[in-house]
Each structure stands twice: as C-alpha cells, then as structure tokens.
Amino acid sequence: MWLAQELGDALPGSHLTSGGLGAMGYALPAGLGAAIGQPDRSVWVVAGDGGFQMSLQELATVVQEGIPLRIAVIDNGYLGMVRQWQERFYGRRYSGHRFPGRILLLWGKPMVFQHGESTGANNSIPPLALQPLKRVRC
C-alpha cells in the first residue's frame, strides 16, 4: 500500500496493486504475470516479508520458466497491515502479527535467488539492484 502512495502517478499504467483489499501474497504472482505478459520490460516485485511468504511457492515457477524478476522484500518481521490495524483499532493489543524476521535472505540464496543483499541499517538500495538481470534456466 505504501508503494502505491509513494509512486502516485509517476509511472502511469505500470503499477499493479491489490488496491488495499487485504490480498496478502498478491505481489509475487502479480509480478510473475506482468513479467510473462510484458517480457521486454523490467518487472519489480515489492512485498513485505509476511505477504511474500504467502506465495513463496511461486518462486518455483519463476525459476522453472526463467522469468527475470527483481524482488525487493521489506523484511521487518511483521505482518504490517495486521499490526497497523491492531495499533489503530485494538488499542495496540498485538496478537499473531510478528514472526522471526531477517530470514528471507537466508532462504532465498540456496533456493533460487541469483543474488541476495540486505540493505542493512541505512536502508539504501544495494548496487546489485541496479544491474540488469539474466535469465536463469534450471
């Protein structure tokens, strides 16, 4: 949701979103479809770590079909929208929104990712994110 707010209309017709309908896990399958539908365009998937884990199995399709996706995961150890609702509407009574963070980088390297980098404390974009992708065949 925050990405849609940040992008605004900077890139018209180029941003897919679930529209805030609570569709956890939407980003990876949507990005996969966009990359298949527009093979000549660079496609980014931006997801929170909770939502990304909801559709992690789609990485098998990404690898099997050699789909060149760039994936940015906001790995903060929370189900962000769940936590936000608990803050706003339930008096900060938290339940079931937290899980061990910082684990996706470790999962991804042996599984499918060509490169995995953490932004670290400064949250800057890693240099690898700016390099062209290569297709991978398994």
Handedness of CA 106, 124, 67, 53 (dihedral sign): positive
Q: What pLDDT, on the 0 to 100 scale, is given for residue 135?
A: 43
Contact 42, 70 (CB under 8 A): yes
Rounded Cα distance between 42 and 85, Å, is 33
Domain boundaries, the chain: 24-126
Q: Write the CATH number of the domain with boundaries 24-126.
A: 3.40.50.970
Between 117 and 40, the higher pLDDT residue: 40
pTM for the whole structure: 0.70
110-133 residue pLDDT tens: 555 555 556 555 555 555 554 544
